[in-house]
Chains A and B, each alone.
Chain A
Amino acid sequence: MKVLEVRDLRLWYGTARGAVRAVDGVSLEIDAGEVLGLVGESGCGKSTLGRGILGLLPEGARADGEVLYKGRNLVTMSPRELRRLRGPELGLIFQEPMTRLNPLLRIEDHFRETLEQHESKMTDADIRRRSLDTLGRMGIPPTRFRQYPHEFSGGMRQRIMIALALVLRPSLLVADEPTTSLDVIVEAQILRILADLKENFDTALLLITHNLGIVAEACDRVAVMYAGEIAEEGPARDVFADPMHPYTRELLRSTISLETTELHSIPGAPPNLVDPPSGCHFHPRCPDVMQVCPVRDPIEVAPEPGRRVLCWLHGPDEEIPAGGTQKLERGQIAVAEEA
């Protein structure tokens, strides 16, 4: 069953330099209990997309398109209705756990506040039982229920944040770089918890990260985002084994891992989203760039069932003008600024 369907979502906001089209026509689906990884470099729009899905955009941002949660469109929903969904239906986990916990409140009070707000019929004993049970599954002992946030380590705070999101049993959880500020062993501990969510809570998860390694280990499917668009999407195994978009392939090659035998990087830097490159936004950095790429916007194709890619290399052939597939030499493109 689909928990979330995003259709042609556009999100933009004004800056001194002009309108930033942070999300530019994105479509996504997440099934119940599924983990979808949303991966991209900084400034690609992945965090804006995550927040936009939950209706948490800054003042002045505009949204267009549809975000269907169990069939209801969140984009047109009133702020009041949306607030009622956030928490019991839609949960969010942020990167910096310390900034999201109130330093003056005991852990117990965080849970009490959350549960009382959304489930007013619960008794004190129920609240305590449900909270301790959720915390226990995250490995937080009951002896620490009455402690304050500063008494916990970074990894424990993030476990508490996850428990605080899960205690309401939401159907969808958006986690924005949940392990970025953590050390590698603790990161792996938290990823294990997130990857096991479906066994323990049947929660669908949108995991936003810049780290391809995290996606490979924890996600069922992956969507690769570049300059406000989904460049490629498919089952994580297939996308990693056989990337279709040149950006995915180059990003995989430039990730430094223990298996890396030679350094590789993508020329240039990600574009700004006020005035992105014409046609395919990746064309100035693409090693496979063709004549058609700078002049026509790419069209999404599905070369295999369950996979889609936004790249002229995969067609549709009938839309490519004559001679469009000829290689374009570097000198002919406006070169992207070196990072």
Chain B
Amino acid sequence: MSEALVSVRGLKTYYSIRGSFLDRLIGKTGAAVRAVDDVSLDLRKGEVLGLVGESGSGKTTLGRTLLGLVPATEGSVTFEGRDITKLHERELRDMRRRMQIVFQDPHASLNPAMTIAQAVGHPLEIHGLTNDRDTLRARVSEALERVGLAPAEQFMDKYPSDLSGGQKQRAVIARAIILDPVLLVADEPVSMLDMSVRAKILELMLALKNDFNLTYLYITHDLATAKFFCDRIAIMYLGRIVEIGPSAAIYEDPKHPYTQALLKAIPEPDPRRTVPRDLPRGEVPDAARPPLGCSFHPRCPRAFEVCGWEARDLKDLLETRWAHMDEEGYEAEQAAIGPVEELDVPEIHARLPVNGGGRGEDVRAILDRAREADPAEPFWTGVSRIADVDGHVEVDWHEPVEPRLLASGPVEVECHLYDEDALAEAARRRGAGNP
């Protein structure tokens, strides 16, 4: 195992959501989006690490925090022996010669008013490495030919609008390697390109890696290209790494239910396949109000007692039920329960009906019918108590157990299914008697 080029420890990057004027006046801080929420990982010299997740998973923020483009809230990023989260802008700028980034959209990455030669040579000027026109042009020409824009003369005086998407991305890569970096963060470098040119750009990046001894952080939502490109894969969900390990292990035997779902959902050009039916419901939740316990539990088909079930999950359950009912049925149930928005809170206790609802016995009947309609729904494992108390129904959920990233064979995974302690705790609570 080679040594780490970048060591990330306990990294948190929060974006604060501005509160009201009054909040600021009295010094109350607003809510925060936990874009990166306690991530630790090593980027080893010469490897390609894939950072895979859906939009909103925090993968792009993690990539940018690594380069010092976004300030870290907590934790450290050690690059060549220095913690870049503690550096000043001036020191960072020097470091950036060693670490470069390629963005997703090649059309937006190039200034339309600059020729290709100006754009690719720009970093040399910014860092004051050369002022001599001939040297500059020679370096640019060399970089262009290295990325396959050959003969370079043919491209140097063109503008980005004269180039195809693939050619633009090659120019962007030329600009990134002209400073001889050691680390390249590639944020979805091929996802805006046509299928027929994606392979060419990936091949180019692999060739450059070998020639220049580069280390890549490959950020993507696409597990198919990552399989081909990466030595190791880290799966991110709502700011956390939920599974990390060698590519082969992740693809052959995905552990986390989220990883399994991502793999199943990829549309394959195989006519024997049909649209997968057993997919997680819903979408990535709001990172400003993450679910209790494991963030994935509301969508997880295998979630159980201690995964973090709560009032918001009851709201989702009722809403999903109502979406498939006729109008009369829905209206009667809705009136009995009351405004479900009141359940939109991260609590493990709820009292029904909520304000202005109907009678407790009607609520009880609705819950019984919902459970009867789908007894295998994992939500019901999380309910520890349903009791009739003074004309109301009280629902309690099991106290969540916070998930931990633990070794499981060749990978590390953050899921209670692989955590003996969590499984034992769940068994103990099950034994204590569900309603």
Which residues of A approach B to under 8 Å, CB–CB? 41-42, 128-129, 132-133, 135-136, 139-144, 153-156, 183-189, 191-192, 195, 210-218, 236-238, 240-241, 250-252, 254-260, 263-266, 269-270, 337-339
Closest to B325 in A: A136
Contact B164 A269 (CB under 8 A): yes
Contact A185 B280 (CB under 8 A): yes
Closest to A152 in B: B283
Docked complex Cα distance between A153 and B283 (Å): 8
Contact A183 B54 (CB under 8 A): yes
Contact A128 B283 (CB under 8 A): no
With A42-B194, A265-B199 known as contacts, the answer to whether A257 contacts B269 (CB < 8 A) is: yes
Contact of B269 among A42, A238, A240 (CB under 8 A): A240
Q: Which of B11-19, B315-323, B386-394 contacts A (4 or more CB under 8 A)?
A: B315-323
Contact B322 A142 (CB under 8 A): yes
Query: Within residues 148 to 176 of chain B, which ones have a CB less than 8 A from any CB in chain A?
Result: 148, 164-167
Docked complex Cα distance between A270 and B193 (Å): 12
Query: Within residues 180 to 219 of chain B, which ones have a CB less than 8 A from any CB in chain A?
Result: 194-200, 202-203
With A254-B196, A256-B199 known as contacts, the answer to whether A236 contacts B322 (CB < 8 A) is: no
Contacts of B81 in A (CB 8 A): none
Contact A188 B268 (CB under 8 A): no
Q: Is B407 an interface residue (CB 8 A)?
A: no
Contact A183 B221 (CB under 8 A): yes
Q: Chain A's nearest CB lies how many Å from the CB of B263? A: 7
Contact B263 A258 (CB under 8 A): yes
Q: Chain B's nearest CB lies how many Å from the CB of A270? A: 7
Contact A41 B279 (CB under 8 A): no
Contact of A188 among B228, B279, B324, B340 (CB under 8 A): B279
With A132-B327, A216-B270 known as contacts, the answer to whether A195 contacts B200 (CB < 8 A) is: no
Contact B196 A250 (CB under 8 A): yes
With A213-B267, A263-B202 known as contacts, the answer to whether A192 contacts B195 (CB < 8 A) is: no
Contacts of B263 in A (CB 8 A): 258
Docked complex Cα distance between A189 and B203 (Å): 32
Contacts of A252 in B (CB 8 A): 269
Docked complex Cα distance between A191 and B267 (Å): 10
**Please, could you name 13 A-B residue pairs with CB atoms under 8 Å apart, sorted by A?**
A142-B327, A185-B261, A187-B267, A189-B281, A192-B279, A195-B275, A210-B194, A216-B267, A250-B196, A257-B269, A258-B227, A258-B266, A338-B148
Contacts of B275 in A (CB 8 A): 188, 191-192, 195, 217-218
Contacts of B283 in A (CB 8 A): 153-156, 183, 185-186
Docked complex Cα distance between A252 and B186 (Å): 25
Residue among A210, A263, A264, A337 with most chain B CB within 10 A: A263
With A42-B165, A132-B327, A140-B323 known as contacts, the answer to whether A264 contacts B199 (CB < 8 A) is: yes
Contact A41 B271 (CB under 8 A): no
Contact of A128 among B281, B323, B327 (CB under 8 A): B327
Contact B279 A189 (CB under 8 A): yes
Closest to A189 in B: B279
Contact A263 B322 (CB under 8 A): no
Closest to A141 in B: B319
Docked complex Cα distance between A339 and B164 (Å): 6
Contact A266 B227 (CB under 8 A): no
Docked complex Cα distance between A252 and B196 (Å): 9
Q: Chain B's nearest CB lies how many Å from the CB of A93? A: 17
Q: Chain A's nearest CB lies how many Å from the CB of B38? A: 23
Q: Is B135 an interface residue (CB 8 A)?
A: no
Contacts of B277 in A (CB 8 A): 192
Docked complex Cα distance between A260 and B251 (Å): 13
Docked complex Cα distance between A255 and B268 (Å): 9
With A156-B283, A254-B199, A260-B224 known as contacts, the answer to whether A212 contacts B340 (CB < 8 A) is: no
Docked complex Cα distance between A241 and B319 (Å): 42
Contact of A143 among B271, B273, B322 (CB under 8 A): B322
Contact B323 A257 (CB under 8 A): no
Docked complex Cα distance between A201 and B284 (Å): 29
Contact of B267 among A214, A241, A250, A254 (CB under 8 A): A214
Contacts of B334 in A (CB 8 A): 142-143
Q: Chain A's nearest CB lies how many Å from the CB of B54? A: 4
Q: Chain A's nearest CB lies how many Å from the CB of B251? A: 7
Contacts of B273 in A (CB 8 A): 216-217
Docked complex Cα distance between A240 and B320 (Å): 37
Contact A258 B166 (CB under 8 A): no
Contacts of A132 in B (CB 8 A): 327, 330
Closest 7 CB pairs between A and B? A213-B267, A339-B166, A141-B319, A183-B54, A237-B271, A265-B199, A263-B199
Q: Chain B's nearest CB lies how many Å from the CB of A136? A: 4
Closest to A222 in B: B271
With A142-B323, A250-B196 known as contacts, the answer to whether A269 contacts B166 (CB < 8 A) is: yes
Query: Within residues 216 to 239 of chain B, which ones have a CB less than 8 A from any CB in chain A?
Result: 221-225, 227-228
Contact of A269 among B197, B276, B324 (CB under 8 A): B197
Docked complex Cα distance between A212 and B269 (Å): 5
Q: Chain B's nearest CB lies how many Å from the CB of A237? A: 4
Contacts of A191 in B (CB 8 A): 267, 275
Q: Is B408 an interface residue (CB 8 A)?
A: no
Closest to A194 in B: B275
Q: Is B55 an interface residue (CB 8 A)?
A: yes
Closest to B337 in A: A143
Contact of B284 among A135, A183, A256 (CB under 8 A): A183
Docked complex Cα distance between A30 and B322 (Å): 35
Closest to A236 in B: B271
Q: Chain A's nearest CB lies how many Å from the CB of B208? A: 15
Contacts of B270 in A (CB 8 A): 216, 240, 257, 259
Contact A212 B195 (CB under 8 A): yes
Contacts of B197 in A (CB 8 A): 265-266, 269, 339
Contact B195 A255 (CB under 8 A): yes
Contacts of A254 in B (CB 8 A): 195-196, 198-199
Contact of B196 among A258, A259, A265 (CB under 8 A): A265
Contact A256 B228 (CB under 8 A): yes
Docked complex Cα distance between A221 and B227 (Å): 29
With A258-B227, A263-B202, A265-B200 known as contacts, the answer to whether A339 contacts B167 (CB < 8 A) is: yes
Known contacts A184-B221, A212-B195, A339-B164; 6 additional CB pairs below 8 A are A136-B323, A140-B323, A213-B268, A214-B267, A254-B196, A263-B203
Contact B224 A257 (CB under 8 A): yes
Closest to A339 in B: B166
Docked complex Cα distance between A241 and B266 (Å): 19
Contacts of A133 in B (CB 8 A): 326-327
Contacts of B279 in A (CB 8 A): 185, 188-189, 192
Docked complex Cα distance between A135 and B199 (Å): 40
Q: Chain A's nearest CB lies how many Å from the CB of B145? A: 12
